[in-house]
Amino acid sequence: MFYKTNEPHGLPHNPFKSCVVPRPIAWVSSVHPDGDVNLAPYSFFNAITSDPPMVMISFNGYHQHGGEKDTLYNIKTSREFVVNMVPLALREAMNVTTAPVAHDVDELQLAGLTTEDSVLVKPPRVAEAPIHLECELYQEISLPCTLRDSINTMVIGSVLGVHIRDEVLTDGMIDLAKINPLSRLGYLQYTSVDTVFEMERPKG
Ligand SMILES: Cc1cc2nc3c(=O)[nH]c(=O)nc-3n(C[C@H](O)[C@H](O)[C@H](O)COP(=O)(O)O)c2cc1C
């Protein structure tokens, strides 16, 4: 089949998100100006450069209670956030933190998670997560939106510091088989990294 994205696709559900898979999940901790800590998952997320390390997250739509999603609002006001990696074992906790609760409701408590202080930024880290990226807002970019009364906003962040739990290192390399990072597919589907292999690049 083929469909033009500005015309109906004729399928029961929009297939687009299943066409770009798997997408890593940024489990983003941030702090509201009132001091409330927020945690929510975002899968329109990726690393975009490594020298210096930078990441992007895309926010789609408003908060159900009105205004921007809490994470976006907090990043814009504080200019800081932490990306926590979600291992397969924490999938249920991750799912709890997607609830569209008011900003003064602590999603970490709802999900039974605990925090550790960050080194360079105010938002704390999810203690149970194996890897954390401490980030500073680099740029906010408004994206087009075809839905009425909605917004799409991309945030680019500079990664200032990286925490890696010693126990997920094997011979000095991150051992993804010990983490099984959770990733997003389309629809309500997920996958996790459980196969890792190496390939040499051709010499030019
Ligand atoms: C696995 C997963 C990935 C998600 N990815 C995104 C995303 O990339 N962009 C987005 O706007 N919402 C995404 N959401 C929905 C947000 O998590 C949800 O709107 C949440 O309530 C936002 O919380 P906040 O207002 O505390 O930031 C995702 C949800 C799940 C479960």
pLDDT in tens, 148-202: 999 999 999 999 999 999 999 999 999 999 999 999 999 999 999 999 999 999 9
pLDDT given at position 4: 98
Question: Which residue's CA is the closest to the ligand 1 atom numbered 4?
Answer: 42
Quote the mean pLDDT of the chain.
97
Which atom belonging to ligand 1 lies closest to the Cα atom of 103?
A: 26
Question: Does the Cβ of 128 fall within 6 Å of ligand 1?
Answer: no
Question: Does the Cβ of 25 fall within 6 Å of ligand 1?
Answer: yes
Distance 127 CA to ligand 1 centre (A): 20
Q: Which domains does the chain have, with CATH numbers?
A: 25-192 (2.30.110.10)
**Do the Cβ atoms of 59 and 72 come closer than 8 Å?**
yes
133 vs 135: CA distance, rounded Å: 6
Judged on CB neighbours under 10 Å (0-12, 13-18, 19+), 39 is buried
Distance 41 CA to ligand 1 centre (A): 5
pLDDT given at position 204: 85
Question: Which residue's CA is the closest to the ligand 1 atom numbered 9?
Answer: 59
Ligand 1 mutation pick, 43, 73, 92, 184, max ligand atoms within 8 A of CB: 43
Distance 177 CA to ligand 1 centre (A): 26
pLDDT given at position 184: 98
